[in-house]
Amino acid sequence: MAAKRISDEPAYVLHRYDWSESSLILEVFTRQQGRVALVAKGAKRPSSSFRPVLLPLQPLRVTYSLGAGGDAEIHTLKGAEWVGGHVMPTGDALLSGYYLNELLLRLLARDDPHQRLFDSYCSVVQVLASEHGEALQPALRAFELLLLREIGLLPLLDAQTMTLGALQADTRYVLVPEGGLRQSHAQDRASLSGAQWAALQHSLDNEAPFTATLRACAEVMAELKPQLRTLLHYHCGVATLKTRQMMLDIQSL
């Protein structure tokens, strides 16, 4: 019986591993199927049509056959086509893209579709590839919020998590890994006002959440970044992500 195929699926390569002298294992984020693992046979050969295509942060359409009737962990890549639209990010934007890919690899289960998150990823990659450097950090914070919400790790941002009490507009609150959103204490290094948290929640609920959240994040960058970093590190189970450590090492040169 012929193997079932997934055809012309929108996708991005998150990571690639050597599988043999001539082949690769790919971790791919697809719109309809979620994160999947694919073997690209012969992809390392000079004559392979896959070589110039299987790059990170590039929009693709992939076709692959499902191994073991869909129950296999790794499926077989049959075709990959570059969709076009933007060039490869460079510099800080490229490292930021690798950072987002690491988050997806650590936090998304395989074969678990997240169509809205995929669309947000497309949007943030377009920002990374643009020359609008001022939007880079807000775009990263927006995607972090959208990712955490999509996988159920972000509490409501317009109420105190433990009490579900309404936020006071002028009171400061902090987002902590095990307690959600709570009133800020003197020792907390970063916090936002109730009005700022509520504005972020409103942006997440917008019909165009990435654009709205990017704008909202731009207003609170300095205080939001360390809180999201702590939350992400907690859920990833690491003190520092590999890509962040790479950025720090480069900056120290």
Q: Give me the domains of the chain, ranges plus CATH numbers.
A: 5-82 (2.40.50.140), 91-251 (1.20.1440.120)
What's the pTM?
0.92
Gap between the terminal Cα atoms of the chain: 57
The answer to whether the beta carbons of residues 74 and 19 sit under 8 Å apart is no
Order of strands, sheet of 192-193, starting from the edge strand that comes earlier in the sequence: 180-183, 172-176, 192-193
Instruction: Give the CA dihedral 203, 206, 208, 213, nearest 10 degrees.
Output: 10
Task: Of 124, 102, 121, give the one whose Cα is nearest residue 10.
Answer: 121
Q: What is the pLDDT of residue 3?
A: 67
What lies within 8 Å, CB to CB, of 142 at 6+ separation is 120, 124, 210, 213, 214, 216, 217
Confidence band (pLDDT; 50, 70, 90) for 69?
Answer: low
Q: What is the distance between the alpha carbons of residues 227 and 176, in angstroms, rounded to a whole number?
A: 7
Which tens digits make up the pLDDT trace of 82-103?
998 888 898 889 999 999 999 9
Instruction: Give the CA dihedral 29, 32, 34, 37, nearest 10 degrees.
Output: -70
Place of tokens 């999947």: 36
Task: Of 92, 63, 98, give the one whose Cα is nearest residue 79.
Answer: 63
Place of tokens 């962040």: 244
Classified as helix, coil or strand, 46 is coil
Is the pLDDT confidence value at 123 over 50? yes
Q: What SS3 string covers 60-81?
A: EEEEEECHHHHCCCEEEEEEEE
Place of tokens 């207003």: 219
What lies within 8 Å, CB to CB, of 159 at 6+ separation is 165, 166, 167, 181
Which tens digits make up the pLDDT trace of 141-199?
999 999 999 999 999 999 999 999 999 999 999 999 989 999 999 899 899 999 999 99
The answer to whether the beta carbons of residues 185 and 241 sit under 8 Å apart is no
Is the pLDDT confidence value at 250 over 70? no
